[in-house]
Amino acid sequence: MLEDPVQDLMEKTMKRFGDNLFVKHSPILQQEACAQILLLVAGYAHRAQPMSLFIMARSSAHLNGMSNRLNSSSSKARFLGMVVGMAISDLVDKSGSKMNFDIDDVKTPEGKWYQRLVRVDDKVGNYTEIKNVFSNETTNALSKNSRTNETPASRKKPVPSKPKPKPMIQEEPQGPRIMEVLDDSEEDDDLVPYAKPDSDPEDEDEDPTMINRDKPKAPVYIRDLMAGLNDSENYDRHSLAVKNAAALIRRKASFGKEVSDHALELASILVGLGDTFDMEDFLELRLQALIAVLVSNPSQMAPWFARQVFDGDYSLSQRTTILSVLGLGARELAGYKDEDEDLNPKIAATAFPSKQLPERLHKLYAAERNAPLTRIASGLERAMIQPMALDAADKMSGPNILKVRTFSSRMEVEKRKKVIPNALAKIVAEGFFFPLTGRWWQNLQAYGAENVHFQPFLLSTYLKTLSLILHAAGSGTISLPQMTAEFWELILSVRTNALADVSVLEAVLFATLTLLDMNEDKRRLAEEHSKQLIETQEWVELVFDRVGGGDEEGERIRMLAASVLMKTREVVEKYQRLMVGDLVDY
């Protein structure tokens, strides 16, 4: 038989991997880790005692687990079930009866990588191998130093010196010289001379030694750009690098591998870049440069940015900047770039100077309200709430003649609407959404609710970022069911924090409204998320009763709460019988 630790780990991992609650509610990052551990342990179990693995592969825990996986609405959960089932069947079954799912998903490099995990045989090495490695490195280093110590003169043959040529002396002519004086004053009488300029911008400094004639030029290579960003002594070079960063990255992204080779280093520099010279529009320029890095290679950079939000040693402001990059970059990949530019115009300052902080502090503390992420979220709120408000007006006072359009005008609007390709839908789950939610749960389990990510400013930005990513992916995304399940669990887990801060409460209500609006299949919501629907409805009713109106914030929260209540009640009233049966079985 197997050793007890290996057998116990195999049984526990197999039961956990196939558990129905684990499949439905756990983050996809944890499910992937569980699948990898199960395959690695299965390989060791097969090499130690093949019959024991054969018995476990026929057990009810494994068979029921595979059934739960294949019946899941999440494509990723089904994929993990298929690759694990095929890998274990390849070890214990004969060639004619091996499990084989002849679909494209298991033939991808990722699927083949999972199936190769059962072949991994990592053994403890011998100390003599380490000794040989160090001895070889020492020998190579000595030989390299001996070659380096040889001077070039000792390796070359002496070359005879050539005689230097004598300098040529120019002879001056002898004798008297004839000089001709030309006087053209009579010919130039009709020419009018140009007036001298009042001032030369290059020579404004009175001291000619202080004039900088060698001004830097805009960078044309990514290495020059990174050098300019790191230069904190030369203002001209640094400002040129910051102002031209986004345009240069976008130009270089389509040609060659210059951006992809330096993407991680460039992103690290930009995220940690500080406003050393107090530049105008520094935050916006840095944000646009980071978005350009993200969209240049989203499959590589999106998970990296998601890791930096939780693992990087950054301040709250830098973390919110990274979240803004993920949200705005996802919308650009989905085709909303032009729309976001319309939603975020450059608004001139209209407030009285006496009602504002000094300019530097005003930029710092007014960034949250004027952030592009917040403005886009407000625009989506209006877009989602307006149809419900019109429907309510219909029920109260009949059809509104102002919103009736003729058939011809509707056709004209549809004709003007452009079809935008959504490049985000293919990578949104693995690149953007699941790395953010998975690392959230990891940090929550490791540090509890006292970590930095529960700060109201950061938490509200995090929820709005996930909402914008979900909205940008669209209602037809294949991974929408799994994204909905993870996001809904996350939203319900921060209800207590939402009641303690208005900004978090608004973000939670906005996230819930986006979640309900994106899931157009209401029957699936009633079948798979009946418990979450009831909990959400009861909690939002409590919020609506507790928050009073009268001020702008209170009215906005009550409006969001009423919109969520309308969405949830619509599903509950229509599929009440279906939900009752599901709740009884839960």
Residue 454 CB coordination number (10 Å): 18
- Which residues touch 130 (CB under 8 Å, ≥6 apart)? none
The Cα angle at residue 162 between residues 159 and 164, in degrees rounded to 5: 150
Give the CA diameter of the chain. Answer: 126
H or E element in which residue 231 lies: none
Contact indicator for 226, 244 with CB cutoff of 8 Å:
no
Residue 244 CB coordination number (10 Å): 19
Residue 35's pLDDT is what? 92
DSSP string, 247-269: HHHHHHHTSTTHHHHTHHHHHHH
Name the residue among 77, 136, 129 with its Cα closest to residue 105: 77
* CA separation for the pair 483, 34 (Å, rounded): 19
* Same domain as 111, residue 230: no
- Which residues touch 57 (CB under 8 Å, ≥6 apart)? 88, 89, 91, 92
* Same domain as 426, residue 326: no
Residue with tokens 């400002």: 239
Tokens encoding 75: 């494509």
Name the residue among 68, 511, 355, 54 with its Cα closest to residue 519: 511
Name the residue among 38, 45, 40 with its Cα closest to residue 61: 38
Residue 367's pLDDT is what? 47
DSSP string, 263-331: HHHHHHHHHT---TT--TTHHHHHHHHHHHHHHHSHHHHHHHHHHHHHHS---HHHHHHHHHHHHHHHH
Residue 91 lies in a domain: yes
Q: How far apart are the first and last CA of the chain?
A: 38
Q: Where are the alpha helices (DSSP H) in 547-575?
A: 552-574
* Same domain as 556, residue 452: yes
Residue 412 lies in a domain: no
Residue 377 CB coordination number (10 Å): 24
* Same domain as 575, residue 469: yes
Residue 70 lies in a domain: yes
* Same domain as 463, residue 332: no
Residue 579's pLDDT is what? 74
* CA separation for the pair 521, 533 (Å, rounded): 14
Last residue of a domain, one of 282, 312, 340: 340
**How large is the C-alpha radius of gyration of the chain?**
34
Residue 217 lies in a domain: no
* Same domain as 547, residue 446: yes
Residue 337's pLDDT is what? 80
Contact indicator for 577, 525 with CB cutoff of 8 Å:
no
Residue 279 lies in a domain: yes
Contact indicator for 284, 324 with CB cutoff of 8 Å:
no
Residue 189, classed as helix, strand or coil, is coil
Name the residue among 277, 322, 320 with its Cα closest to residue 301: 322
* Average confidence (pLDDT) per 10 residues, the chain, 586 residues: 72 90 84 92 88 87 89 85 91 85 85 90 75 68 53 48 51 54 55 61 55 75 91 88 92 87 92 86 91 93 92 86 92 83 43 50 48 75 66 47 43 50 84 91 80 86 93 88 91 88 92 92 87 91 83 85 90 80 53
Contact indicator for 560, 513 with CB cutoff of 8 Å:
yes
User: Which CATH number belongs to the domain containing residue 230 in this structure?
Assistant: 1.25.40.720
Last residue of a domain, one of 275, 307, 340: 340
Domain that holds residue 42: 4-119
* Same domain as 441, residue 335: no
Name the residue among 436, 427, 483 with its Cα closest to residue 77: 483
Last residue of a domain, one of 68, 88, 119: 119
Residue 393 lies in a domain: no
Residue 297 lies in a domain: yes
Tokens encoding 295: 């969209």
Residue 253's pLDDT is what? 87
Residue 309 lies in a domain: yes
The Cα angle at residue 18 between residues 15 and 19, in degrees rounded to 5: 80
* Same domain as 330, residue 427: no
Number of domains in the chain: 3
Q: What single letter denotes the amino acid at residue 191?
A: L
Tokens encoding 252: 């270089």
